[in-house]
Amino acid sequence: MTTVLLLLTLLIIPLSGCNFRAVEPAPLTPTTVRVTIDHGSPVPTLNVPASRVLQIIPTPSMQIDIPPTNTPDGACPGSGAYSRSEHTVAAEIDYAAKIVQVQHQVQWTNHSGDAVDTFVLNLEPNRFSGVVTMNGVTVEALTGEEIIQATAFELTGRRLTVELSAPLAIGCALQAELSYRLAVPPVGTGLNALNGYFGYTVRQMNLGHWLATVAVNRGGEWISHDAVQIGEQIVAESADWDVTLIVNNAPSDLTIAAPGQLDRPENAVWHYQLERSREFAASMSDEFNVTLQDAPDGTMVELYSFTEASTGSTSGAVDGAGHALLVAVNSLGMYSDLFGAFPYPRFVVVEGDFADGMEFSGLVFVGRDWFRGYTGEPGGYLTIITVHEVAHQWWYARVGNDQAITPWLDEALATYSEYIFFEEFYPDLRDWWWDFRVNSFVRSQSDYIAASVDSPVYTFTTVRQYINAVYLRGARMLHALREDLGTDPFFDWLRRYSEAGANRVVTPDIFWSLLTPEQLEQTRETRAEYLTDSDY
Ligand SMILES: [Zn+2]
């Protein structure tokens, strides 16, 4: 029995951190909803019985607190200063029915460099059919003396496009109010088996990538990529989140794992505030065991795991939870030293009741199979995946990138960060890491001839190709760059990149621009070997 389980675990292991995907890509079947908004009706609704129209306490009210402009060119007063988007969410969760009613206010300032006549958000759950019901979208803004409202919205796949009655000028802010209903899907059936960070099992409900985020606008184009089953395609700005979870029909001992500052105004209400975050994720269960440990930088690391993580691995009674917590503590401390301070007082690690790992700002999932497969030895996937997801707190959450077009910026750096963790804490396992993690998959030129490290996710037809090219050869490339530059200049470069990209969405030119002309020359051959776009 043990042998079979172990073999099964090994068979599903060979992919990677936040991108374990066991099947070939399949087209997603997004729903499309287009609604023209009639401002004569107070609440636009769509296929929603009146009884389901959201009632949230306190009721969010649309208030315009944006001063009109007095400047002759029509620009708004805020045009010179950058301000992050603010999300205020009230989510009423029927835990038993797995239904979430979301009332979501967004305040966004137009820093796109041009006037915009649409406002675009990404609503990830609508990648799946039958999950999202839009109840309504309203927008109010002022440009000069003109009041701007939403005239129509369209939800296609993850992309929610809101048409504005007039262009919103540079520096002007708008306030949007979205009302939507989510039918959280079960983990483990169909496509949703691959996306357990948004789904439920008998013992867990995971809300990852469940709330709308504002699409990044670059050069007048809103970035909202097509969904595919390879990698992530998230491009999210850094924003401030104020999220209230009102949980009904739940076990009395329900525990919620979520990042940020928490207060509990009522028994069934969890109120979180999380700043400079690309999203807000939460996981809930009445079976969590919670263990805590301070990281060297003072961050409180919290591990939410199930009983089998501590006592029931396939190899016997070894404490995978304790190991994962230790690894998270040590890697968080190490990366804070190397790449800049972790921004929050708390960091949350959740055992996901699904076969995957996934990163969010201030919270990561480490899949149950990595706990079940833990043998008591540090050389294995529980260490690798935990460290990998922690590293994404810098290479994704802090320094944002386009995960569809330049996935190497987060995945290659997160994978190489695994190696430097082993270097520091388990130096005897350095060669093991290269063999186990990289060389056993990327053996020869033919394994990667089709794709460079800097390939978009859309290049690949299998997950294996994607992991090999972007994660594993990406790690090789970074190691070669370190050898080109020397260890100290290499880590100095990564630190400066982490500072330059903090709370931004960056492109590779920023990464390379931080090298001196001499360093660019030192790295020329390596860049030419691994990259398609290697001239900087
Ligand atoms: Zn990853």
pLDDT digits (tens, 9 = 90+) for 214-225: 999 988 899 999
Written as one letter, the residue type at 379 is: G
Ligand 1 centroid–CA 44 distance in Å is 39
Tell me the average pLDDT across 343-371.
95
Residue 245 CA, ligand 1 centroid: distance in Å: 28
| Region 88-115 average pLDDT | 96
Q: Which of 72-86, 181-195, 265-279, 325-339 has the lowest mean pLDDT?
A: 72-86
The reported pLDDT for the residue numbered 356 is: 78
Give the pLDDT of residue 309. Answer: 80
CATH topology of domain 288-536: Neutral Protease; domain 2 (1.10.390)
Question: Are the C-beta atoms of 411 and 471 separated by less than 8 Å?
Answer: yes
Ligand 1 center to residue 437 CA distance, Å?
13
Confidence label for 450 from pLDDT (cuts 50, 70 and 90): low
| Mean pLDDT, the chain, whole residue set | 86
Distance 525 CA to ligand 1 centre (A): 26
- Which pLDDT tens digit goes with each residue over 375-391? 999 999 999 999 999 99
Instruction: Tell me the pLDDT tens digit for each residue of 28-55.
Output: 445 567 777 766 544 433 333 333 233 3
The alpha carbon of 448 and the centre of ligand 1 are apart by a number of angstroms equal to: 19
CA distances from 231 to 139, 338, 361, 367 (A): 32, 27, 18, 16
Dist. CA 36 → ligand 1 center (Å)? 39
More confident of the two residues 171 and 350: 350
Mean pLDDT of 424-447: 89
Q: Which residues contact 489 (CB under 8 A, 6 or more apart)?
A: 519
Residue 248 Cα to ligand 1 midpoint, Å, equals 34
Query: Cα(357) to centroid of ligand 1, in Å?
Result: 8
Strands 289-294 and 300-305: antiparallel
Ligand 1: centre distance to CA 2 (Å): 29
Tell me, in angstroms, the distance from the centre of ligand 1 to residue 530's CA.
19
The mean-pLDDT minimum among 135-139, 299-303, 462-466 falls in 462-466
Rounded-to-integer distance, Cα 270 and Cα 199, Å? 20
Contacts of 20 (CB under 8 A, 6+ apart): 12, 355, 356, 357, 367
Q: Among 298-302, 405-409, 462-466, 482-486, name the one with the lowest average pLDDT.
A: 462-466
**What is the SS3 string spanning 152-196?**
EEEEECCEEEEEEEEEECCCCEEEEEEEEEEECCECCCHHHHHCC
**Alpha carbon distance 356, 204 (integer Å):** 14
Q: What distance in Å separates the CA atoms of residue 336 and residue 259, rounded to the nearest whole number? A: 18
Q: What is the DSSP string of 57-96?
A: SSPP-----PPPP--TT---GGGGS---EEEEEEEEEETT
Q: How confident is the model at residue 22 (pLDDT cuts 50, 70, 90)?
A: very low
Contact 297, 356 (CB under 8 A): no
- Tell me the CA–centroid distance for residue 388 and ligand 1, in Å: 6
Could you report the per-residue pLDDT of 63-80, keeping only the tens digit for each? 434 444 434 445 676 555
CA of 521 to the centre of ligand 1 (A): 29
Q: How many other CB atoms sit within 10 Å of the CB of residue 516?
A: 11
Residue 60: band (very low, low, confident or very high) from pLDDT cuts 50, 70, 90: very low
CA 227 to ligand 1 center in whole angstroms: 17
Whether 417 shows a pLDDT value over 80: the answer reads yes
Question: Taking the C-alpha atoms of 71, 74, 78 and 81 in order, what is their torsion angle to the nearest 10 degrees?
Answer: -90
Asked if residues 166 and 109 have their Cβ atoms less than 8 Å apart, the reply is no
What are the extents of the domains in the chain?
Answer: 288-536
Query: Strand pairing of 99-109 and 173-183?
Result: antiparallel
Percent of the chain with pLDDT over 70: 82
The pLDDT assigned to 299 comes to 97
Max CA separation in the chain (angstroms): 77
Q: Which residue has the tokens 């690894």?
A: 327
Question: Which residue type is seen at 298?
Answer: G
The CA distance from 88 to 106, in Å, is: 7
Reduce the DSSP state of residue 440 to 3 states and report it: coil
Residues 6+ apart with CB under 8 A from 291: 302, 303, 305, 321, 322, 325
- Residue 389 CA to ligand 1 centre (angstroms): 6
List C-alpha distances in Å: 251 to 205, 247, 268, 445: 12, 10, 11, 54
Q: Dump pLDDT digits (tens) for 456-506.
A: 999 998 888 999 999 999 999 999 999 999 999 999 999 999 999 999 999
Distance CA 247, CA 485 (A): 53
From ligand 1's centre to the CA of 80, what distance in Å?
A: 35
Q: Which pTM value belongs to this model?
A: 0.87
- How many angstroms separate the alpha carbon of residue 390 from the centre of ligand 1? 9
Q: How far is the CA of 173 from the centre of ligand 1 (A)?
A: 34
| β-sheet bridge partners, residue 18 | none
Average pLDDT over residues 329-352: 98
Please tell me the distance from the alpha carbon of residue 175 to that of residue 119, in angstroms, as a whole number.
10
Q: Is the Cβ–Cβ distance between 376 and 314 less than 8 Å? A: no
pLDDT band of 128, cuts 50, 70, 90? confident
Q: What pLDDT shows up at residue 65?
A: 43
pLDDT at 534 (0 to 100): 84
Q: Give distance in angstroms: CA of 88 to centre of ligand 1.
A: 28
Q: Is the pLDDT of residue 97 over 90?
A: yes
Q: What 3-state class would DSSP assign to 487?
A: helix
What is the pLDDT at residue 318? 84
Quote the ligand 1 centre to 145 CA distance (angstroms): 47
How far, in Å, from the CA of 271 to the mean position of ligand 1? 29
Confidence of residue 317 (pLDDT cuts 50, 70, 90): low
Mark out the alpha helices in 172-319 (DSSP H runs). 307-311
Token pair of 526 as six digits: 């390596």
Instruction: Measure 350 CA to ligand 1 centroid, in angstroms.
Output: 16
Res 472: pLDDT: 95
Predicted local distance difference test score (pLDDT) of residue 33? 72
Q: Compute, in angstroms, the gap from residue 330 CA to the centroid of ligand 1.
A: 18
Residue 130 banded pLDDT, cuts 50, 70, 90:
very high
CA of 490 to the centre of ligand 1 (A): 21
Q: How far is the CA of 511 from the centre of ligand 1 (A)?
A: 18
CA of 19 to the centre of ligand 1 (A): 6
195 C-alpha vs ligand 1 centroid, how far in Å?
14
* Number of Cβ atoms within 10 Å of the Cβ of 319: 17
